[in-house]
Structure 1
Amino acid sequence: MNQAARRIGRTLALVLPVVLVLSGTLAVTRVPWAAPTAESQVLTASSDTASTQAKARAPHEVLRDRLLGELQEKNPGVALTDLQVATNGRPSLAQHCAEIARALGRAAVAKYHSVKQAQAYARPVCDTAFASGVVQDH
């Protein structure tokens, strides 16, 4: 129990300051650093004044970014398994499978700084695209 309390305490010690800073930053809309003048401007994010609207990202780009994050947090094997599940569940993603698997291969080499260690996670998802991504960086 003592270890659990210590772990919770360390987590709070790391997370709480970040939460407080972010919540304080987001709560502040305008800080009067100088006396207000007619020339002072307040910048706000508004869809009425935005020059360009954010474009919706394609599903395969969202999947690629999610899997690259998963690869960093866990390992390439988990990301490759999830890629296979995603392409089986949504066949429209299959045309982008090799591209995503190559990106995962390159990211695995970057993570482990070793082609051999990255290659250890290779599996037959999207043919051999992961393996080709691994050797592209070599």
Structure 2
Amino acid sequence: MNETKTTSARTEALRTLLHGARERVVRDIEAQIGRRLDETTRGRIDAALDLEDRASMDLEDDTDFALLEIRYKTYKDIAEAFRRLESGTYGLCERCGADIPIARLEAESFARFCVPCLTAIEAVERVEREEKRFAS
């Protein structure tokens, strides 16, 4: 019975954490889109830009798009975390099955691995990258 209360309390804490993370990323996306719309309006007013200004704006657009892609990926990762929460697997390491500490989930709400497993995965990925680099 006590384990059920703990599990239920942990689930609610995790749900609250995910809701907060989702709200933050949605606000960031909305703010960025709003800024771009304001800049587009300003751009129409200043239609007579020289080439240097246009190149600078193109670079800004590329950067903004890359940031928006990152935020959207984060949003999708959070949505996937909600699916794991509903299935009862959120907060459990996908590799070893151990509980992922709340502190780690607070830092990265969509974390799929505990730190030891993530460290091992990243080490393997580094070795594979190095092997590819030297094979080329």
Tell me the TM-score normalised to structure 1 length.
0.29
Larger radius of gyration: 1
Q: Which has the higher helix share?
A: 2
Q: Which of structures 1 and 2 has the larger relative contact order (alpha carbons within 8 angstroms, sep 6+)?
A: 2
Q: What is the TM-score normalised by the length of structure 2?
A: 0.30
